[in-house]
């Protein structure tokens, strides 16, 4: 069966989601699974309504979103110029490559004890976890995007009299931006992984804290609600990111 239009694709996706939720609800209501292990979607929805009414759900969601966006923004603002610079210079790439290779394999969880010792349980500590977890991978994406520019284009621009700054503005940046944006979108998902890891260990608010708190009190519906909110928030941010990408890169439409 072929799907030829976006509207048909959307309709199929909606039907698939409705079938999934309905099946889940029926399995729980018929008693095949204990609510303690897997509550029904209606139970999760009921918990969501209660937490919206007392303001907790919005508060936790905004706290996590703020931490991700601040840490990710700072990481991107450092990684983009530094990555373009390294991707354009073989000498400096050789200088910094060993350091990047040491930092890149470290997961965000490994930075948590050190950040707690340095910064304590503060907002700055949460931002630093997002920064450290997303900086090295973002940097590698940007370096590879810069290196992917055809050297013939750069040589041709220089032969026509373009300065280094002109080559950067007219050839390297327009050519590498689509890959840079694609890499940053991937890193945004990883940034969420970083902050949830940090909030699971040491936090007083946020979706990670909400999930851990629900687990402590055997509130499985709260745990699942936190997971659903992470997915919804990432989807909303992704939509905003796509609109930003279309404005920034109109030639890729």
Q: What is the pLDDT of residues 34-50, one digit of tens each?
A: 888 899 999 999 999 99
The whole-angstrom separation of Cα 66 and Cα 227 is 17
Contact 87, 147 (CB under 8 A): yes
Q: What is the pLDDT of residues 147-193, one digit of tens each?
A: 888 888 888 888 887 787 888 888 888 888 888 888 888 888 888 88
The reported pLDDT for the residue numbered 2 is 63
Q: What is the pLDDT of residues 53-112, one digit of tens each?
A: 999 999 999 999 999 999 999 999 999 999 988 988 888 888 888 888 888 888 878 888
Full 3-state SS string of 40-56? CHHHHHHHHHHHHHCCH
Residues 6+ apart with CB under 8 A from 139: 79, 82, 83, 86, 100
The whole-angstrom separation of Cα 96 and Cα 112 is 24
CATH number 1.10.3720.10 given to 40-248: yes
Q: Does pTM surpass 0.75?
A: yes
Neighbours of 25 (CB within 10 A): 14
Domain regions of the chain by residue span? 40-248
Which tokens in the block code for residue 105?
Answer: 């394999």
The whole-angstrom separation of Cα 16 and Cα 6 is 15
The whole-angstrom separation of Cα 212 and Cα 196 is 10
Contact 215, 223 (CB under 8 A): yes
Whole-number percent of the chain with pLDDT over 70: 96
The whole-angstrom separation of Cα 65 and Cα 68 is 5
């Amino acid at each position: 069966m072929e799907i030829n239009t976006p509207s048909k694709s959307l309709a199929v996706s909606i039907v698939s989601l409705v079938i999934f939720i309905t099946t889940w609800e029926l399995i729980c209501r018929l008693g095949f699974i204990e609510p303690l292990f897997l509550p029904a979607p209606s139970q999760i929805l009921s918990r969501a309504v209660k937490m919206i009414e007392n303001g907790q759900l919005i508060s936790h969601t905004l706290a996590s979103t703020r931490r991700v966006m601040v840490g990710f923004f700072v990481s991107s603002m450092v990684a983009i110029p530094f990555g373009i610079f390294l991707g354009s210079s073989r000498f400096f790439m050789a200088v910094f490559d060993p350091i990047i290779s040491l930092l890149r394999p470290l997961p965000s969880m490994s930075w948590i004890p050190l950040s707690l010792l340095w910064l304590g349980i503060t907002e700055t500590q949460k931002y630093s976890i997002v920064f450290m977890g997303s900086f090295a991978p973002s940097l590698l994406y940007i370096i590879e995007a810069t290196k992917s520019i055809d050297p013939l284009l750069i040589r041709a621009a220089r032969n026509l009299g373009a300065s280094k700054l002109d080559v950067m503005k007219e050839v390297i940046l327009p050519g590498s931006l689509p890959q840079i944006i694609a890499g940053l979108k991937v890193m945004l998902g990883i940034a969420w992984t970083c902050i949830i890891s940090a909030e699971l260990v040491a936090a007083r608010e946020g979706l990670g804290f909400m999930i851990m708190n629900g687990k402590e009190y055997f509130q499985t519906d709260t745990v699942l609600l936190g997971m659903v909110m992470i997915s919804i928030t990432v989807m909303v941010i992704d939509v905003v990111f796509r609109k930003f990408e279309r404005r920034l890169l109109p030639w890729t439409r």
